Amino acid sequence: MTLWSGHIAQRESKYAQRQRSLAVSSAQTMIDDFATALETLSAPTQPRLELLKKVAGVFDQLEETRDLRDRFATEQGIAEAQGSIHATLRIADTLVDLGDRNAAMGRIRSAEELALELQKKRARDERGNLLLAEVLIAKGQLLKDESNIEEAEIDADVALRNLRVLDSQKDQAFGKTIEIMLCRALTLQGSLLFDTTSFDEAERVLKQAIEDGERIYRQSPDDADAVDAYASALQGLGWLYNRAYREDLVREPIERSLSVRRLAVEKSARNARLRLQLDSASAIWNMQSSAEAMDAFAKVSISQLKSFENAATRITSTLEFV
């Protein structure tokens, strides 16, 4: 009888673990789908922010059910941790787009803690190291914007070291992603060097970022991440010249940056994130963006967001059985 009871308990435990894994996978997929959908929706910011927080709440509930003992002991545990970091970064990116930078930083620091723990357990795991670099770049950018230059510089340096190791391994599975991340990391580092080192060194690093970004962009001109990495590097150089009072040099990289962003918006008129990036860059430099591209921008009603709210409710209901 005891053996039979133990067998039943073991089966129930495995079933519960499978159910939790399914719920985790569903929540992570939903976060990805939702963040992607927000790039094509133009409903007002506040309703989108509130719905994002509700969807993120489902993800948080699942994270609270995680067994922290030996969480990296199995391949499934590793995959769940990697998925958790990726989903957290997607939430943070969207929070930044919607203007809640404090909440975004909280998410990023949580992702950093998990990524560092994962690296300690699986130092040679390429995806884990790539995710850590992505976390550090996102964190460094927010810190730079808050004028926390010292911590941001540390993050940029660590991210670059990790990425250069990964790049030397020439893994085809992550090749383009590594190149985009290297461009972003160099742009971040270059934008920080003006405060800590010299104009010449900052200019050198930013020109390297532009060279790398242009190569990736020419290979994948329709990739939104490649577009943003290249345009951000150009924008970084323009910002450097502006801060150094080199007015004669400012215009060229800024116009190239805006041209790259405008072309991307014209190709993908429904992509709200590309539009937001163009509008933000244009506003910084007080340049008028294309009226034709704005007219082409599709208006989508808030009601289309409700499908994600319903999906969040369905996944939440599964937690009762996990």
Q: What is the pLDDT of residue 236?
A: 94
145-172 confidence digits (pLDDT tens): 888 999 999 999 999 999 998 888 766 6
Q: What is the pLDDT of residue 42?
A: 53
118-147 confidence digits (pLDDT tens): 888 776 778 888 999 999 999 999 999 888
- Dihedral of alpha carbons 210, 211, 214, 220, sign: negative
Mean pLDDT calculated for residue range 179-196: 93
- Does 320 score more than 70 pLDDT? no
Tell me which DSSP letter residue 50 carries. Answer: H
Question: What are the tokens at 103?
Answer: 């909440």
- Measured CA distances, 291 to 138, 146, 259, 287 (Å): 31, 32, 14, 12
Residue 157, judged by CB atoms within 10 A of its CB (0-12, 13-18, 19+), counts as: middle
- Does 65 score more than 70 pLDDT? no
Mean pLDDT calculated for residue range 295-322: 49
Fold of 10-173+303-322: 1.25.40
pTM value > 0.85: no
64-94 burial, b at 16+ Cβ within 10 Å, e below that, comes to eeeeeeebbeeeebbebbbbbbbbbbbbbbb
Q: Residue 139 in 3-state DSSP?
A: helix
Q: Which CATH number does the domain 182-299 belong to among 1.10.3470, 1.25.40, 3.90.1070, 1.10.510? A: 1.25.40
Q: What is the pLDDT of residue 51?
A: 65
- Measured CA distances, 103 to 29, 63, 154, 251 (Å): 21, 17, 22, 34
Maximum average pLDDT range among 78-82, 216-220, 281-285, 289-293: 216-220
Spans of all domains in the chain: 10-173+303-322, 182-299
71-87 confidence digits (pLDDT tens): 666 777 788 888 888 88
Q: What is the pLDDT of residue 94?
A: 80
Average pLDDT, the chain: 76
Same fold, 10-173+303-322 and 182-299: yes
Percent of the chain at pLDDT > 90 equals 33
Beta-carbon contacts of 85 under 8 Å, excluding residues fewer than 6 positions away, are 111, 114, 115, 118, 131, 135
Q: What is the pLDDT of residue 67?
A: 59
Provide the H-helix boundaries in 146-290: 149-169, 175-196, 199-219, 224-243, 247-267, 272-284
Tell me which DSSP letter residue 240 carries. Answer: H
101-112 confidence digits (pLDDT tens): 898 999 999 999
